[in-house]
Amino acid sequence: MILFLILAALSIISSLLVIFPRSVVRNAMALAATLFFVAVLFVTLDAPMVGALQVLVYAGAIMILILFVIMLLNPAALEARPVAWGMTGSLAAVALLLELVAIFFYRPSSAEQPSVTVGFGGPEALAQSLFTDFVLPFEIASVLLLVAITGAVVLAKREG
């Protein structure tokens, strides 16, 4: 439990570092750290396959795409953020904090807590769920990633 709380605190700190620094590259690196901490949290929750997929897919492939886009956009040329964005973000952060406090103080009874099945988080259960129940969202995500990669290549060729 102590390890979980330490990892959760590190995840929260690194997620705050995604929001507050002005450097886009530092934001991206903090996002990679956050995704890694979430992967370790999955491992502590007895879902090692989901943790490994988190590292491979999000902390690996998606972060490479994000850094590629950052390099294409030239972050030094970006203009300052409008004040309205800061106010909207602050209101959203307060709403999220209130939700988290409500969830933290809600304690379900032991009869309401679901039991974890034997194959939870393993590759067999994940593949069975992914390729039967979630085929359409899986294919939509793959097409979306293909479109993003194609768009990045088109943008890169246009400047070159």
| 11 — pLDDT class (breaks 50, 70, 90) | very high
pLDDT in tens, 126-136: 788 888 999 99
Closest CA to 5 of 29, 39, 34, 41: 41
CA distance 88 to 103: 23
pTM here is: 0.59
Three-state SS at 116: coil
pLDDT in tens, 52-67: 888 888 888 888 878 7
CA distance 43 to 55: 11
- Evaluate whether 156 touches 73 at the Cβ level (below 8 Å): no
Alpha helices in 61-112 (DSSP H): 63-73, 83-105
Q: Where are the domains of the chain?
A: 2-75+119-159
Class level of CATH domain 2-75+119-159: mainly alpha
